A and B are shown apart, each in its own frame.
Chain A
């Protein structure tokens, strides 16, 4: 079923006109209210009235995560606090989180785009949806929640963790839809089998999975384990949260809600816009957001765009599943992790930052983060009690900064592999290549 056929199956020319009108309004809005954008536009000699068509998007300046940090926390808001009804936050590259704000209208748009996505996956008011994404500052839980209520489904807002309770609620409350990270879905599937039950003991039929990269192989594995149809949902808090794009039953890429978010793919080195079908960095411009519109936000996700009409009837552009990034951000158990956050923690503890390395493995469908820290003369002891004290302190500080636990291993100096004198910071042993 298609929730808003007039938009989702719109004539591309009509969509182009709608986007142009909304882009012009957004440019005016940020120019008038955000000094950061006003300065950037002036540098490029752009007056708000100059932008009349979405074809001019390529002339506008980019926005990066660093810009968000430099304007922390509310510097990019275009409305006073009285208009802001919600704040969410996700990991930043260092100490400061990435903050986003929503007006009441923004929350409505968010619910609408998630509802569109859920409808694509065949979810409707007859369904009961178990939302096992984290509720809180993370956009996953509440994003899915409002969308699910919008389609009229019954929501079980169980959030993450406590697998036993998850299985009990799912069976006792007749959940038909599961929304969580794909790795947690696989873990739940195996836990159901281990508990002596079978997937047929649940009423599950659909899975809405996102917030981390996953392959088609994983889709098959999860579909077999849980006896469901699995769909990819994509989003990032900077743009709105989950619901920026969603997969239909054709599984040929995610349909981007282009009437709200305009996607571009650029060469991450030269910043030039690439033609449809070429792999590059995904860039979004929000054209309906009120509280915090972003112009050409560089997501660092690598993907391709396909403009051909889909077999499902939708004309909205499709983006390939994002499996890699143009920066060093890792997504572990749905949480964004930057190696620089680990460095900041270590720097705070010892004067000279020791060499470190992040190693990510997937064991029993759960991501395990191991952090190796080379001991050095600044923190050395021949007493195991002292070394363990150091290790536990690193452990505590890392957990509180990253928001997920990690296995901390102390290793010998020079044991971390260097290339051209620089320690290799990340080894990701998970395979996302399809």
Chain B
């Protein structure tokens, strides 16, 4: 249930994100989810994409600084309290979230979650009947 997230270090200069998405487009790689975290001088783009290993290769050969990070993708009901239920379980198990990004539409809510011991997160969520999305499923979305 581990999903390989693509993380890219970006300097704060215009056109850099455009360049990145162009390279992915040229290589026929679809972006399922994306979040951009920024500081005053640089940013980190985190993406769930189809074919992450290929994406890493093509971006690295274009000079980007790329890493693959293990994350989980959680599917929740799109209603009040949906996210709370999942976070309550994590908190009760002393799991500290490094970062997450989420989106909901048409009755489905999805959250990408990063924590230190990702296997422990998967175990805890599955034991509590939470619905996780697999890497192969991601590519269908």
Contacts and interface: CB of A to CB of B under 8 A. Distances in A.
Interface residues on A, range: 10 to 19
B39 A415 contact: no
Nearest to B10: A412
B64 A412 contact: yes
Contact of B65 (A384, A385, A388, A413): A413
Given A375-B9, A383-B98, A388-B39, 18 more contacts: A375-B65, A380-B67, A381-B67, A382-B67, A382-B69, A383-B44, A384-B37, A384-B39, A385-B98, A387-B9, A387-B44, A409-B42, A410-B41, A411-B42, A412-B10, A412-B11, A412-B65, A415-B11
Nearest to A414: B63
Contacts of A413: 63, 65
9 A-B pairs closest in CB distance: A382-B7, A412-B11, A382-B69, A409-B41, A413-B65, A414-B63, A382-B67, A411-B11, A384-B37
A388 B40 CA distance: 11
A414 B64 CA distance: 9
B99 interface: yes
16 contacts: A380-B65, A381-B67, A382-B5, A382-B44, A382-B67, A383-B44, A383-B99, A384-B39, A387-B39, A387-B42, A387-B44, A411-B42, A412-B9, A412-B11, A413-B65, A415-B11
B75 interface: no
B72 to A, nearest CB: 15
A319 to B, nearest CB: 42
Interface string A387-430: 11000000000000000000001111111000000000000000
A388 B39 CA distance: 9
Nearest to A386: B98
B41 A412 contact: no
Nearest to B37: A384
Interface string B30-73: 00000001010110101000000000000000011101010000
A394 B11 CA distance: 18
Nearest to B8: A382
Contacts of A384: 37, 39, 44
Interface string A353-392: 0000000000000000000000110001111110110000
Interface in B94-109: 98-99
A395 to B, nearest CB: 12
A50 to B, nearest CB: 61
Contacts of B42: 387, 409-411
A388 B43 CA distance: 11
A6 B6 CA distance: 78
A409 B46 CA distance: 21
Contact of B63 (A376, A410, A412): A412
Contacts of A410: 9, 41-42
A380 B99 contact: no
A415 B12 CA distance: 12
B11 to A, nearest CB: 5
Contacts of A415: 11
Contact of B46 (A375, A376, A382, A385): A382
Contacts of B67: 380-382
Nearest to A407: B41
A350 B9 CA distance: 18
Interface in A248-293: none
A385 B98 CA distance: 9
B121 to A, nearest CB: 16
A410 B38 CA distance: 13
Interface centre among B7, B10, B37, B41 (most CB of A within 10 A): B41
A234 to B, nearest CB: 38
Contacts of A380: 9, 65, 67
Contacts of A409: 41-42
A415 B41 CA distance: 14
Interface in A186-207: none
Contacts of B65: 375-376, 380, 412-413
A380 B39 CA distance: 16
A411 B39 CA distance: 12
Could you say which of A380, A409, A412 has the most chain B C-beta atoms within 10 Å of its C-beta? A412
Nearest to B7: A382
A183 B5 CA distance: 49
A38 B11 CA distance: 55
Nearest to B98: A383
Contacts of A375: 9, 65
A39 to B, nearest CB: 50
Nearest to A374: B65
A382 B10 CA distance: 11
A385 B97 CA distance: 13
Contacts of B11: 411-412, 415
A283 to B, nearest CB: 43
A380 B44 CA distance: 11
Contacts of B69: 382
Nearest to A382: B7
